Amino acid sequence: MWYKDGTGKVFDSSSPNTGLLKGEFFGTPTQKNCTTRFNNVNQNHNGSYYFRLEANGVLRLNYRKPTYSQVQLAILEYPPKPTVSVFKDQQEVIEMMEMMEGSSVSLRCSSKIFCPFLPPNLTWSSSLNENITGRQHQIQTELISELNFTVSHRHHKVTFTCNATNQLQQQITTQESRMLRVQYAPKNTSVSVNPAGFVLEGNSVTLSCSSDANPPLLNYTWYRDTEGLLNPVQTGPNLTINNTNSTHSGRYYCTAENKHGTQNTSVLLDVQYVPKNISVWISPAGLVLEGGSVTLSCSSDANPAVNYTWYRDTEGLLNPVQTGPNLTINNTNSTYSGRYYCTAENKHGTQNTSVLLDVQYAPKNTLVSAFPSSSVMEGNPVTLSCSSDANPAELNYTWYTETGSQIQFLQTGYSNIYIVTNPTNGAWYGCKAQNQHGQYNATIQLDVQFVPKISSSCSRSSVIACVCEAHGNPCPTLQWRLSGQVISINSTETSISEEMLGSTGVKSVLTTHHSLMDTDVLQCFSSNIYGSASQMFQAVPPPPDTSFHYPSVLLGAAVGVLVMIIVCIVVVCCERWAVAPDNDRRFVYTNKDILPFIAQSTPEPLHYSSNVFTNTEPSSGEIRGITSRTFSR
């Protein structure tokens, strides 16, 4: 039993949990060991204590003054703090001393043991919030816990705390801390862009560099990757660029340096801008031939990348054709010619440009027209014009005429030709339009209209047979007239047959068994809408005898003299023409482009006559004279 001076019994081993002090008796009295453990002491229990021994109700011994010494109990409010020491390479490190990253470090925590049976509980904690377990051992009255590790930059300014907890009073814990100081090369170097995100061209931007290092006296250097090389730009933690443009885009490197080493990092500066320098080209280059393929390509300098849209100018409107940087047209034709627009667009704006697609092709749809009309009166002029669809449109025109299988070339170069018509050139006229890619021909037939022209003949055997041919346009009609009366009824004595000679001619054959009187006049009469022509046959009475016919001789002589006079006149006119000045000469042109004006004259009626000289003794009933006349209106 234990007694406290002035209080009485505070502990009885027979009932250890009922007294003022609760505990456990460990000693062996026979061996003079009275060890007792009290579990619930506090500062109220300070004082002097003595031991009393009772056994079998008979033995009673008090161990107190003055015979025996008493136990003085001084209760502390808190257990003493543990002690924390730092060792580097087995050498103790004093407070505030720094160590180099990579060093081996030992943290040692020691605490006094006041009760060997219930020593304090030592635990470690740190500002890194990591679970730490130390290696624990006991040396006499001290309990020691050690942490062994290699320091890194993560341990710089990290506080390690050793906690000592009493096992009987777990709510009471004492602790001791120690902060490590570690020197290291730059770590966790980073770059930030302000304002964040992309930078719009023309604005300002600041690049900031930061790094974790000890000592923190850093040198920052900025570099720019230009053509694969790193060129120094500026020093200092901040790099400011004013009035940015596309050339400032790229990767920027920041290098942080202290006495222990360097570290660098980079950032991509994205300067964005509206599309510019847009261009369009055609592949294959040069002209595009109809039927081939062509690709129109569009490119632009922009950030971010653009969307391309192709437009076509159709009747003044811009119609979207396709999207994408390339526009391919297969099997081109003339409808694809025109201006194509490419629009490059991103979120900051648009820009466009255009290119003219020139699809070239050989002439086609060649057409020949006549002015004033393809139906023209004989002797009147007509202008033929040739047109053709072609690209390039600079064409070479060749004019020619077709008569049957014969082709005669008339003119080359001009698109117009000037022609003065006559019945013989009522043929096909052709125009050949040609450029560097090919040619195309077209023809036109002139409808040359003219008054009838007559040719006729008569013969007699047992009957009189007269043949009359007339040509005119429109095709004329033919009549036989006898002494002014139309012969229209076929009889057994007289018959008339007609035959068409193409589209402009008619042939009539008159056969009669009648004999013509000297006063009878047989006439072939032809007409169309432009005029008429006739030829008369008149019986001439036979001469009285077969002697020399003086009138005929005189008439022949007169004709000869007339012919000589005409020849002389022609010769004199030719000589005058040869010596006449240039401005008195007349030229005939076949192209209206070089003949500005030709006056049209009114056709005059033509008169034809023929005299037939026959034998002095003609056969009976022979027709002796022929007269031909042509009238036009």
- Chain segment 512-525, per-residue pLDDT in tens: 877 767 667 888 99
Residues 99 and 157 placed together within one structural domain of the fold: yes
Give the DSSP H or E segment for 512.
strand 505-512
Mean pLDDT of 592-596: 34
Identify the CATH number of the domain in which residue 378 sits. Answer: 2.60.40.10
DSSP-assigned letter for residue 598: -
Across 105-109, 295-299, 504-508, 569-573, least confident range: 569-573
Q: Are 512 and 537 in contact (CB under 8 A)?
A: no
Find the radius of gyration of the CA atoms of the chain: 70
Give residue 262's pLDDT band: very low, low, confident or very high (50, 70, 90).
very high
- Higher confidence at residue 203 or residue 460? 203
For 198-243, write each residue's pLDDT tens digit.
899 999 999 999 999 999 878 999 998 776 666 778 899 999 999 9
Q: Is the dihedral of CA 507, 511, 514, 518 positive or negative?
A: positive
pLDDT of residue 591: 33
Mean pLDDT of 115-123: 83
Does residue 627 form part of some domain?
yes
Residue 494 scores a pLDDT above 80: yes
Does residue 247 form part of some domain?
yes
- Higher confidence at residue 431 or residue 632? 431
Residues 200 and 253 placed together within one structural domain of the fold: yes
pLDDT of residue 84: 92
Does residue 564 form part of some domain?
no
Q: Which domain holds residue 536?
A: 450-542+587-633
- Higher confidence at residue 228 or residue 244? 244
Residue 501 scores a pLDDT above 60: yes
For 546-566, write each residue's pLDDT tens digit.
445 556 657 777 777 787 888
Does residue 30 form part of some domain?
yes
Q: In what order do the strands lie in the sheet with 428-435?
A: 406-412, 396-403, 428-435, 438-445
Percentage of the residues of the chain whose pLDDT score is greater than 90:
41
Beta-carbon contacts of residue 460 (< 8 Å; ≥ 6 apart): 619, 621, 622, 623
The winner for highest mean pLDDT among 119-123, 214-218, 275-279, 503-507 is 275-279
Residue 271 is which amino acid?
V
Does residue 571 form part of some domain?
no
Does residue 576 form part of some domain?
no
Residues 46 and 128 placed together within one structural domain of the fold: no
Residues 534 and 615 placed together within one structural domain of the fold: yes
Residues 398 and 336 placed together within one structural domain of the fold: no
Separation in Å, CA 408 to CA 2, 103, 400, 431, 433: 159, 113, 5, 12, 16
Does residue 563 form part of some domain?
no
Residues 613 and 464 placed together within one structural domain of the fold: yes
Give residue 622's pLDDT band: very low, low, confident or very high (50, 70, 90).
very low
pLDDT of residue 470: 94
pLDDT of residue 329: 92
Residues 229 and 299 placed together within one structural domain of the fold: no
Q: Are 265 and 255 in contact (CB under 8 A)?
A: no
pLDDT of residue 169: 63
Give residue 596's pLDDT band: very low, low, confident or very high (50, 70, 90).
very low
What is the per-residue DSSP string for 97-166? --EETT-EEEEEEEEE-S-TTSPPEEEEEETT---B--EEEEETTEEEEEEEEE--GGGTT-EEEEEEE-
Give residue 425's pLDDT band: very low, low, confident or very high (50, 70, 90).
low
Give the DSSP H or E segment for 366.
strand 359-371
pLDDT of residue 370: 92
Mean pLDDT of 428-439: 93
Which of 226, 248, 269 corresponds to the end of one domain?
269
Which of 137, 165, 180 corresponds to the end of one domain?
180
Residues 485 and 617 placed together within one structural domain of the fold: yes
Separation in Å, CA 37 to CA 1, 189, 443, 462, 575: 12, 59, 141, 188, 173
pLDDT of residue 187: 92
Instruction: Tell me what the pLDDT averaged over the chain comes to.
Output: 82
Q: Are 191 and 208 in contact (CB under 8 A)?
A: yes
Could you give the CA distance from residue 144 to residue 134 in angstroms, rounded to a whole number?
9
pLDDT of residue 354: 93
Structurally, how many domains does the chain consist of? 6
What is the per-residue DSSP string for 74-105? ---SSPPPPEEEEEETTEEEPTT--EETT-EE
Which of 400, 429, 445 corresponds to the end of one domain?
445
Could you give the CA distance from residue 340 to residue 362 in angstroms, rounded to a whole number?
23
Does residue 559 form part of some domain?
no
Separation in Å, CA 271 to CA 77, 297, 318: 69, 26, 32
Mean pLDDT of 251-263: 93
Mean pLDDT of 566-577: 67
Residues 608 and 490 placed together within one structural domain of the fold: yes
Separation in Å, CA 8 to CA 3, 438, 570: 5, 141, 188
Could you give the CA distance from residue 542 to residue 614 in angstroms, rounded to a whole number?
10
Q: Which two tokens stand for residue 235?
A: 């020093």
Q: Are 470 and 476 in contact (CB under 8 A)?
A: yes
Residue 117 scores a pLDDT above 90: no
Q: Which of 350, 337, 233 is nearest to 294 (CA)?
A: 337
Q: Are 66 and 16 in contact (CB under 8 A)?
A: no
Beta-carbon contacts of residue 575 (< 8 Å; ≥ 6 apart): none
